Amino acid sequence: MRLLIMGPQGVGKGTQAAALSKHFGIPTISTGDIFRYNLKNKTELGLQAQSYIDKGQLVPDELTNRIVEDRLAQRDAKGGWILDGYPRNASQVEALDSMMATAGTELDYVVALQADRTVLLERMRKRAEEEGRSDDTPEAIATRLDTYERETAPLLETYGSRGKLVSVNGVGSIESISHEIIAALETA
């Protein structure tokens, strides 16, 4: 199974991706994890990404796409995967479509987790307190949520028009949300 898990920051994508990974026996591929791996191991792609990060810039789509393509080509991803954090914009959707066409595969579903902004803000405030995350300031949170609404949320319409979208309420217990996602995927 090849899945995307999408939703705004704080909605629980990583938590649910881990549960889906275990249930379906496929790896979760997080672009954040990919960047951290490539940076830590000083790969060619990591060094290129570092040059942008050091300047406080976003890593360009072209480089992000190459990093994702490299990860999807690894052995553990041959039987399926869950992408978390990618694609984030229309250009990345086109790149992912091209990668899958080249590989002779196709996307099965896009799981969209939904939650009200007030819930997300509270979750991220708690996460910042519990994990000491410096990137979860109120200003940074608001900026990330605004960016999601502007650039990523419209992609849900794209995937909905392709008949690939499964929307799930991201509020509730972790287990109940996982069960709802799995049931929706198995009956879709």
Return the active site residues.
Answer: 13, 88, 127, 133, 144
Residue bearing tokens 């929307």:
167
Alpha helices in the chain (DSSP H): 13-24, 31-40, 44-53, 61-72, 90-103, 117-131, 138-147, 153-161, 174-187
| φ, ψ dihedrals at 9, nearest 5° | -55, 140
Q: Is 121 helix (H, G, I), strand (E, B) or coil?
A: helix
Integer Rg of the chain from CA: 16
The Cα 184–Cα 140 span in angstroms is 33
- Residue linked to tokens 């994890």: 33
The neighbour count for residue 93, using CB atoms within 10 Å, is 18
